[in-house]
Amino acid sequence: MKLTLKIWRQKNAQAKGRMETYQIDQIDGDMSFLEMLDVLNDQLIATGIEPVVFDHDCREGICGSCSLQINGEPHGPDRFVTTCQLHMRKFNDGDTIVIEPFRAKAFPVVKDLMVDRSAFDRIQQAGGYISVNTSGNTIDANSIPIQKDDADNAFNAATCIGCGACVAACKNASAMLFTSAKVSQFALLPQGQVEATRRVLNMVEQMDKEGFGNCTNTGACEIECPKGISLENIARMNREFLTAQLKG
């Protein structure tokens, strides 16, 4: 398979970026997208060109770090996969592929295709946890009965890997889907009720401080999410937020 790659190159956060065009061939359809970029980088290094910087870690669809905008879509044309799980069979011989970093004010470019997503970490730190007094002893995880539907929904929300695809898919670069997933995974459980008011207020406040936009209500975030996080979480977070404001 022969491909034309148009890739965003940017030396650092302060530098002005540009699109560079590269030709690549002998790409097998069973390669992952990141393996294809590895082949490209080997080719660039062999010719004395600085390799393309992109973020990755587990390459198993778990860590969420392989965040690339591929032909205008976060993580590319497939559904419910991260970029590392996207295979080149989704493309055709002779295709031109445009590869960019996720575009958002709150995700500044570090270099080339790598962005700083630490804004998500700060939202999580603002309230995405529960405090438990163990009194020196470990508490049995099954000590509090939980309705199965609530447990299932909490687990579904907790599958969010914080990749940022929801932000990249949104016209307003909103982080509502991510934040609501992190709120929901605790709001649905009795263990999360003690800090429920502080949690949602603090996390939404931090989300706004980071510069994310408002929800567009178009649902693009759910469609592009590799874990299929539901928009129902946004509705739940809105209810939690209004309740917390009334209590305050």
Q: Supply the CATH number for residue 84's domain.
A: 3.10.20.30
Is 138 a domain residue? no
Render the burial of 148-184: b for 16+ CB within 10 Å, e for the rest. Answer: eeeeebbebbbebbbbbbbbbbbeebbbbbbbbbbbb
- Mean pLDDT (the chain) is 95
Is 54 a domain residue? yes
Per-residue pLDDT at 93: 97
Whether residues 11 and 124 fall in one domain: no
Whether residues 82 and 127 fall in one domain: no
Whether residues 10 and 72 fall in one domain: yes
Whether residues 242 and 162 fall in one domain: yes
Whether residues 241 and 227 fall in one domain: yes
Task: Provide the angle, in degrees to the nearest 10, between the axes of the packed helices 176-187 and 232-247.
Answer: 70
Per-residue pLDDT at 134: 67
Whether residues 151 and 73 fall in one domain: no
Is 137 a domain residue? no
Structural domain boundaries enclosing 97: 3-111
**pLDDT above 70 coverage of the chain, percent:** 98
Q: What is the pTM assigned to this prediction? A: 0.93
Tens-place pLDDT, residues 169-202: 999 999 999 999 999 999 999 989 989 999 999 9
Under 8 Å CB-to-CB from 160, ≥6 apart: which residues? 177, 178, 181, 182, 185, 225, 227, 229
For the chain, the domain total comes to 2
Task: Decide: 100 and 107 in contact? Cβ < 8 Å.
Answer: no
Is 163 a domain residue? yes
Q: Note the helical H segments in 97-144.
A: 118-127
What is the pLDDT confidence band of residue 145, given thresholds at 50, 70 and 90? confident
Under 8 Å CB-to-CB from 142, ≥6 apart: which residues? none
What is the pLDDT confidence band of residue 141, given thresholds at 50, 70 and 90? low
Distance between CA atoms of residues 9 and 21, nearest Å = 10
Tens-place pLDDT, residues 103-128: 999 999 999 999 999 999 999 999 99
Whether residues 219 and 126 fall in one domain: yes
